[in-house]
Amino acid sequence: MKATVHVMLKNGVLDPQGEAVKHALGSLGFEGVAGVRQGKVIELDLADGTSEDTVKAMCEKLLANTVIESYSIELA
């Protein structure tokens, strides 16, 4: 079983890496990029039958800083 966790900074939290990417894209001649938010994707190989609640607990305890980040989970 696989789980994919997408972690992003919450709206309103400054994203200096995203701003750096936006600036770099402009420097390379890519116009029209109004904003960039950078996040992370975590892929987990899990034992069959692992519940979404277990993955949520992983996110809450380690994978995401829930004060400043939000996350979503995809199970496959």
**CATH code for the domain of 59:** 3.30.1280.10
Average pLDDT over residues 3-27: 97
Domain tally, the chain: 1
16 pLDDT band, cuts 50/70/90, is very high
Residue range of the domain that includes 56? 2-75
pTM: 0.88
Name the strands in the sheet holding 69-75, side by side, starting at the edge strand that comes first in the sequence: 40-45, 2-9, 69-75
| CB within 8 Å of 51: residues ≥ 6 apart | none
Give pLDDT, residue 67: 98
Question: CA angle, 19 as apex, 21 and 44 as ends, to 5°?
Answer: 65
Q: Cα-flanking dihedrals φ and ψ of residue 37, to 5°?
A: -120, 130
Question: What does the alpha-carbon distance between residue 37 and residue 47 come to, in Å, rounded to a whole number?
Answer: 32
